């Protein structure tokens, strides 16, 4: 494991140590190894996107279906010239507004620069430029496109810190960069720019409304699942603990009746303001301060799911947040984790 924090990057006394670690990481990527790296969304399982064998290691380590494409991470927009077609001015405008940051753009793929298994044999590629200081420094030093899906077992809650990565993949990867936890806590927004109007393939921290404001045009949303996904998160159940997980739409109150058997141990994940309605015999995890704390809830979601997954509860219920633009990414992950299992809370 390597230890690199944001503060380390500007500490002159640690420059030689950090440079040595970055050199080791680059060499590992060059030799086709896979490494857990920090980003501002979730921790990624990274490998050289040009190396088919390295990409195969990612799919194998995660148990990820081969038709689920990977997002390519870069540090400089100039890198796109190696593997994408000439960019539309509207795409560039959005990149200038939101990169580096938690958004991926699906672009027309050019040539065979990238390994075909990284893009699941598609003629398009999803690309992102992370804003996490350490993640960006790794990308800059390695100076190669890195495929980096979430560093977890496929279908399980994504990792938001190095400990989560180790818990899931310790014996399946070369190493992990221990750094600050993810800021956003859910994966990036994915915008399909291969057709117009552009369309959101996966919601995230950057909202439809924010994109439309910059673009000054309407943006569509991909509806439903597809047999051939163009983005991660479109086809398979994701982010789920081992126990049944059910959304309580409208939230929990004194009148909420939970569909549980007498012998079942129950867990509830909800805002702190819901605690008063929850019995002492129920395991409760506070997800955020209140019903409107969408960013805090997104940041804590996967950690809460992991805690419940490791507990002895038999069934888990989770608060369903109001369907507003700010909660779209959060509720997308919650519905994916539950398989759209829902009850009405009020």
Q: What is the pLDDT of residue 301?
A: 97
Note whether residue 271 is domain-resident.
yes
Q: What is the 3-state secondary structure (H, E, C) of 207-252?
A: CHHHHHHHHCCCCEECCCCCCCCCCCCCCCCCCCCCCCEEEEECCC
One domain, residues 328 and 180: no
Q: What is the pLDDT of residue 257?
A: 87
Task: Give 54's pLDDT tier (boundaries 50, 70, 90).
Answer: very high
Q: What is the pLDDT of residue 235?
A: 56
Mean pLDDT across 286-312: 96
Which tens digit of pLDDT belongs to each residue from 147-156?
999 999 998 9
228 pLDDT above the threshold of 80: no
Note whether residue 239 is domain-resident.
no
Q: Residue 81 belongs to what domain range?
A: 2-221
Domain containing residue 20: CATH number: 3.90.870.10
Mean pLDDT of the residues in the chain: 94
Structure tokens at 250: 């409208």
One domain, residues 77 and 42: yes
Q: 206, 221, 236: which is the final residue of a domain? A: 221
Q: What is the pLDDT of residue 261?
A: 87
One domain, residues 267 and 320: yes
Task: Give 237's pLDDT tier (boundaries 50, 70, 90).
Answer: low
Q: 154, 189, 221: which is the final residue of a domain? A: 221
One domain, residues 338 and 199: no
Lowest mean pLDDT among 149-153, 215-219, 227-231, 274-278: 227-231
Note whether residue 79 is domain-resident.
yes
Specify the number of domains making up the chain: 2
Which tens digit of pLDDT belongs to each residue from 3-14?
999 999 999 999
Q: 160, 186, 221: which is the final residue of a domain? A: 221
One domain, residues 110 and 58: yes
Count CB neighbours of 262 within 10 A. Answer: 4
One domain, residues 250 and 159: no
Mean pLDDT across 223-235: 63
Domain containing residue 299: CATH number: 3.40.50.11030
User: Alpha-carbon distance 215 to 199, whole Å?
Assistant: 12
Whether residue 302 contacts residue 158, with contact meaning beta carbons closer than 8 Å, is answered with yes
One domain, residues 340 and 291: yes
Lowest mean pLDDT among 37-51, 56-70, 103-117, 219-233: 219-233
Of the candidates 194, 192, 182, 180, which has an alpha carbon nearest to the alpha carbon of residue 105? 192
One domain, residues 129 and 269: no
pTM of the entire structure? 0.94
Which tens digit of pLDDT belongs to each residue from 18-29?
999 999 999 999
Task: Give 166's pLDDT tier (boundaries 50, 70, 90).
Answer: very high
With a pLDDT cut of 70, the percent of the chain lying above it is 96
Q: What is the pLDDT of residue 230?
A: 72
Mean pLDDT across 180-192: 96
One domain, residues 28 and 172: yes
Note whether residue 146 is domain-resident.
yes
Q: What is the pLDDT of residue 86?
A: 86
Which tens digit of pLDDT belongs to each residue from 257-274?
898 888 999 999 999 999
Note whether residue 235 is domain-resident.
no
- Find the helix or strand (DSSP H, E) in which 277 lies: none
Note whether residue 238 is domain-resident.
no
Note whether residue 264 is domain-resident.
yes
Note whether residue 121 is domain-resident.
yes
């Amino acid at each position: 494991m390597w230890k690199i924090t944001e503060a380390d990057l500007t500490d002159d006394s640690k420059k030689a140590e950090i440079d040595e670690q970055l050199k080791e990481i680059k060499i590992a990527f060059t030799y086709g190894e896979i490494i857990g790296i920090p980003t501002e969304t979730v921790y990624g399982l990274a490998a050289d996107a040009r190396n088919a064998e390295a990409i195969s290691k990612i799919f194998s380590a995660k148990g990820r279906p081969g038709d689920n494409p990977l997002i390519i991470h870069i540090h400089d927009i100039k890198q796109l010239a190696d593997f994408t077609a000439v960019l539309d001015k509207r795409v560039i405008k959005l990149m200038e507004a939101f990169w580096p940051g938690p958004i991926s753009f699906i672009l027309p793929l050019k040539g065979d620069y990238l390994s075909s298994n990284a893009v699941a044999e598609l003629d398009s590629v999803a690309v992102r430029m992370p804003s996490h200081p350490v993640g960006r420094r790794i990308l800059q030093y390695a100076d190669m496109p890195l495929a980096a899906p979430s560093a977890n077992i496929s279908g399980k809650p994504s990792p938001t810190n190095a400990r989560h990565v180790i818990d899931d993949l310790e014996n399946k990867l070369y190493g992990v960069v221990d750094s600050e936890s993810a800021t956003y806590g859910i994966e990036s927004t994915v915008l399909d720019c291969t057709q117009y109007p552009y369309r959101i393939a996966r919601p995230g921290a950057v909202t439809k409304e924010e994109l439309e404001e910059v673009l000054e045009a309407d943006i569509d949303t991909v509806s439903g699942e597809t047999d051939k996904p163009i983005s991660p998160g479109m086809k398979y159940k994701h982010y789920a603990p081992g126990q049944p997980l059910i959304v309580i739409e409208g939230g929990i109150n004194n009148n909420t009746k939970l569909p549980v058997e007498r012998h079942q141990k129950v867990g509830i994940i909800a805002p702190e303001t819901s605690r008063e309605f929850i019995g002492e015999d129920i395991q409760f995890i506070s997800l955020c301060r209140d019903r409107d704390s969408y960013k805090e809830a997104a940041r804590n979601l996967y950690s809460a799911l992991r805690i419940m997954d490791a507990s002895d509860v038999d069934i888990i219920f989770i608060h369903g947040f109001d369907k507003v633009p700010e909660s779209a990414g959060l509720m997308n992950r919650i519905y994916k984790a539950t398989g759209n299992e829902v009850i009405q809370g009020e």
